[in-house]
Amino acid sequence: EIVLTQSPATLSLSPGEGATLSCRASQSLPSRYLAWYQQKSGQAPRLLIDNVSRRATDIPDRFSGSGSGTEFSLTINRLEPDDFAVYFCHQYGSSPTFGQGTKLEI
């Protein structure tokens, strides 16, 4: 099983600032099977990024993904109040797993 470790667990920032969230895999991911989801309290996760860096439909370009091998990151520029949520990385190979999440708080 590929274990994903996210850091930091909590990130405290202000609107207008930029955020960088990290995701480390216990082994190199097959192909580019790495996604990022945003989850707000009481809601289902929402796909932001797949294939490491491809934005999903209707996701603004303030969100960007990067990385390779075992190190991946999600960058959010110019934070807006609606961006404060929990973010999960997810590898969708043959035995999918998730990171434990990073809470982005104001």
Partner 1 sequence: QVQLVESGGGVVQPGRSLRLSCAGTGFPFSRRAIHWFRQAPGKGLEWVAVISDDGNSKYYGDSLKGRFTISRDNSQNTVHLQLNSLRPDDTATYYCTKAFTMFGVASDYWGQGTLVTVSS
Q: Which is nearer to partner 1, 14 or 57 (CB)?
A: 57
- Alpha-carbon gap, residue 95 to 54, rounded angstroms: 21
Asked whether the beta carbons of 24 and 3 are under 8 A apart, the reply is no
Cβ-based nearer residue to partner 1, 14 or 41: 41
Please state the closest distance from residue 10 (CB atom) to partner 1, in A: 14
| Shortest CB 92 distance to partner 1, Å | 5
Q: In degrees rounded to 5, what are phi and psi of residue 32? A: -120, 45
| Pick from 54, 47, 41: nearest CA to 84 | 41
Contacting residues toward partner 1, per CB under 8 A: 1, 31, 33, 35, 43-47, 50-51, 56-57, 88, 90, 92-101
Q: Return the amino acid letter for 22.
A: S
* Least distance (Å) between residue 31 CB and partner 1: 7
Between 45 and 62, CB nearer to partner 1: 45
Q: What values do phi and psi take at 83, rounded to 5?
A: -80, -15
